[in-house]
Structure 1
Amino acid sequence: MAKLTDEQFSAYLAEAKAKLSAELPIAAEKKINYGYQYTVKLAEAKLTLNIYNGKKGLNIVYSGDSALAERAAALLEGRKAKAAAPATFVTDGLWAGSDESGKGDFFGSLVVAAVVVDNTTADKLRAAGVKDCKLLTDKKILELEDIIKASVVDYSVLELKPRVYNLRYEQVAAQGGKLNQLLGYGHVAALSKVLEKHEDCHSALIDQFTTSMVNIRALKQRFPQCDVRQQPKAESNLAVAAASVLARAQFLHTMAALAAEAGVQELPKGGGAQATACARELAAKYGKEALRNYVKLHFANYQRV
């Protein structure tokens, strides 16, 4: 393919930008020698695309996060991104898993839990009906909470209630971060709390919420003996499933306590119109500043209130 004219190259760049920005945030762009550069940032992951228009035509050089590079290439080429081949996760001996609850709920806290199991305890959890908390009723989650705590090798449950959550989110946002960074801190802290007590735990699995490897690197640096991985739908693993149940159970306990404090029978879950309406009623009753004690202020619901 021959070198494009300036007009053709400008048109290609405009089309490329439109395709990329449909799914990925373009943080910066600039002219470079013989071409143009786009910088993409998603959570902590970063990618630069250098698009050159040389004698042999277009040439795109990707530099940075490999998962972002695959997504960007797929967008530019008009194809589906290739799914990474799932690596085998070792579940011999002890292994750990972590998951969170509350990130999509306007009311209530953010909870991250980590669990350590072995094959024997995993079998007990499976027999008790432990699975991804999204597949369980609130009643069943609360029933399983004590069973999990009594059965597993170890566990940790860390919680940011609304007032503290809002303070931490504001601190992270002031440094250019977003929710995924706060989630990352939570997963690293919850897993660290159990891994530091179990040097013979050689595998840990995080339910993936970001393509960034920052959290993995932080844990591997602190626990070099542990193979730490993240993958989508990791709740199929019993350790992650148990962590999801413990996190949701704590979230439910706090929601009940906040409802009692607010003088209402129940606070709405999720981030829909019902949650906005309830927050509006509480603001009218106690003042808008009081919402800091009940809701996550960065949600769009708060702006509607």
Structure 2
Amino acid sequence: MNVVLKLSPAAIEKVKADWGKFQKTSNNQYISFFAQHNGTSVSIYSSGKVMFQGSGAESAAKAFGHETANKPDFQAPIIGTDEVGNGSYFGPLVVVASFIEEDDVAWLKKLGVDDSKKMTDKHILEIADQVMERIKHLPLTVSPSKYNEVIASGYNAVSIKVALHNQAIYLLEKRIARPAKAIIIDAFTTEKNYNKYLKKEKHQVAGQVSLLPKAESQYLAVATSSVIARFLFLEGLKELSSLAALELPSGAGSKSDKVAAQILQSGDELGQYAKLHFANTQKAMKIAGQ
């Protein structure tokens, strides 16, 4: 595996001192220091980044501040959260927390629940109702209008997600009969950053929260939330498309710029449909001649 750290000059000197006796020559012009020992290597780049590679990468990086997530080796009982819509200019932002119990695991696997990005929208639409009926979950859907209002009040794209994930977990904990053994969030920021924004929130969850990368591919609770959130996002996008009398695209590509320009030219309120702080807004205004 690979672990990349951005270290201070002093910390980089410590890496060189600790690994100096294992130093080897590197043909990469961007690497200023390279060392290898027992299947693990360390590369220091001219940019200041330090990359540990190999079987002992995490252990080696830990000596220089890398924090390894506390990853449970079970699937239930777990609360897992995920969000959909944060990367889409049009449509709502949806955060879902789901609680998976032991007897849900085989059922979800049989249904084909997985990371929603690996599933077709057709499959998600086919199974979403069954999943939502059986699995205890807490959805929070933020319309574009509300999203823009919250961003204008001082939140940013990360802090709004921290608030929503925290609130979804907090409310779900109140609805389940027993505590979850683990609470997993599909990592969208570092734990340090998450905890910084969390201090500003009124409600605090009871359980220990872990932010894990690619958690939706590892934990059914997170995958379930991913599926439900995708379904609710698609439904929300469909409703907004009907309201706009236009097919609003998912994502934040050039197609979104053109559709947003059409909305502006029609005199309709773009903030009803889109997250205005995205760069697409300025591009759309340019296309629309505004």
Give the TM-score taking structure 1 as reference length.
Answer: 0.69
User: How much has 1:191 moved relative to structure 2?
Assistant: 1.0
The answer to whether the 8 Å contact 2:166/2:204 transfers is no
Given the alignment of the two structures, is residue 300 of structure 1 paired with residue 279 of structure 2, yes or no? yes
Q: Given the alignment, which residue of 185, 207, 225 partners 2:186?
A: 207
SS of 1:79's equivalent?
A: strand
Matches for 1:221-260 after TM superposition, within 5 Å: 222-224=204-206, 226-236=207-217, 237-260=219-242
2:174 equivalent in structure 1: 196
- RMSD (CA atoms): 2.8
- Which segments of 5 or more consecutive residues in structure 1 lack a partner in the other structure? 1-22, 25-46, 53-57, 61-72
1:101 equivalent in structure 2: 84
User: How much has 1:163 moved relative to structure 2?
Assistant: 0.4
Tell me how far apart the structure 2 counterparts of residues 125 and 131 of structure 1 sit (CA, whole Å). 9
The answer to whether the 8 Å contact 1:91/1:203 transfers is no
Q: Provide Cα deviations, 1:49-74, integer angstroms capped at 9, x if missing partner.
A: 5869xxxxx789xxxxxxxxxxxx87
The answer to whether the 8 Å contact 1:117/1:239 transfers is yes
SS of 1:140's equivalent?
A: helix
SS of 2:86's equivalent?
A: coil
Q: Given the alignment, which residue of 264, 270, 274 partners 2:251?
A: 270
The answer to whether the 8 Å contact 2:75/2:220 transfers is no
AA aligned to 1:227 is Q
Tell me how far apart the structure 1 counterparts of residues 181 and 152 of structure 2 sit (CA, whole Å). 35
The 1:212–1:107 alpha-carbon spacing in structure 2 relative to 1, beyond 3 Å, is same
Tell me how far apart the structure 2 counterparts of residues 100 and 75 of structure 1 sit (CA, whole Å). 36
Q: Given the alignment, which residue of 106, 127, 131 partners 2:114?
A: 131
User: How much has 1:196 moved relative to structure 2?
Assistant: 2.1
2:63 equivalent in structure 1: none
Tell me how far apart the structure 1 counterparts of residues 161 and 76 of structure 2 sit (CA, whole Å). 28
User: How much has 1:228 moved relative to structure 2?
Assistant: 1.7
The 1:185–1:74 alpha-carbon spacing in structure 2 relative to 1, beyond 3 Å, is farther
The answer to whether the 8 Å contact 1:90/1:203 transfers is no
AA aligned to 1:303 is Q
Tell me how far apart the structure 1 counterparts of residues 166 and 211 of structure 2 sit (CA, whole Å). 12
Tell me how far apart the structure 1 counterparts of residues 45 and 186 of structure 2 sit (CA, whole Å). 24
The answer to whether the 8 Å contact 2:169/2:205 transfers is no
1:39 equivalent in structure 2: none
1:110 equivalent in structure 2: 93
The answer to whether the 8 Å contact 1:99/1:247 transfers is yes
The 1:269–1:119 alpha-carbon spacing in structure 2 relative to 1, beyond 3 Å, is same
SS of 2:50's equivalent?
A: coil
Give the TM-score taking structure 2 as reference length.
Answer: 0.72
Tell me how far apart the structure 1 counterparts of residues 275 and 137 of structure 2 sit (CA, whole Å). 26
Tell me how far apart the structure 1 counterparts of residues 103 and 149 of structure 2 sit (CA, whole Å). 41
- Which segments of 5 or more consecutive residues in structure 2 lack a partner in the other structure? 16-43, 59-66, 285-290
The answer to whether the 8 Å contact 1:258/1:294 transfers is yes
User: How much has 1:193 moved relative to structure 2?
Assistant: 1.2
1:20 equivalent in structure 2: none
AA aligned to 1:79 is V
The answer to whether the 8 Å contact 1:96/1:240 transfers is yes
2:160 equivalent in structure 1: 182
2:51 equivalent in structure 1: 80
The answer to whether the 8 Å contact 1:133/1:245 transfers is yes
The answer to whether the 8 Å contact 1:124/1:151 transfers is no
Q: How many residues align?
A: 233
The answer to whether the 8 Å contact 2:76/2:105 transfers is no
The 1:262–1:78 alpha-carbon spacing in structure 2 relative to 1, beyond 3 Å, is closer
The answer to whether the 8 Å contact 2:80/2:185 transfers is yes
The answer to whether the 8 Å contact 1:172/1:181 transfers is no
2:23 equivalent in structure 1: none
The 1:75–1:171 alpha-carbon spacing in structure 2 relative to 1, beyond 3 Å, is farther
